[in-house]
């Protein structure tokens, strides 16, 4: 079984704010195929985007 990284809302928000930052570097290092998130985090991100008008 391959190692997977479950990213939470704070980490994904940081990735959006700093697309060349440490989170992006780590994702590049471990490979995008190892990254996942939950449906709850996806809903939180959608809610935040709607609330901010993005």
What does the pLDDT look like over 5-54, one tens digit per residue?
999 999 999 999 999 999 999 999 999 999 999 999 999 999 999 998 86
Interatomic CA distance for residues 20 and 25, integer angstroms = 7
Under a CB-based contact definition with an 8 Å cutoff, are residues 49 and 12 in contact?
no
Residue 34 is predicted with a pLDDT of 97
**pTM of the entire predicted model:** 0.81
First to last CA, the chain: 37
**What pLDDT does 53 receive?**
84
Average pLDDT over residues 2-7: 94
pLDDT tops 90 at residue 1:
no
pLDDT at 44: 96
12-33 core/surface letters (b: 16 or more CB in 10 A; e: else): bbebeeeeeeebeeebeeeeee
């Amino acid at each position: 079984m391959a190692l997977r990284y479950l990213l939470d809302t704070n980490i994904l928000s940081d990735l959006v704010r700093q697309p060349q930052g440490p989170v992006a570097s780590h994702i590049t290092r471990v490979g995008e195929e190892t990254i996942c998130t939950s449906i709850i985090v996806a809903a939180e991100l959608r809610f935040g985007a709607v609330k901010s008008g993005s």
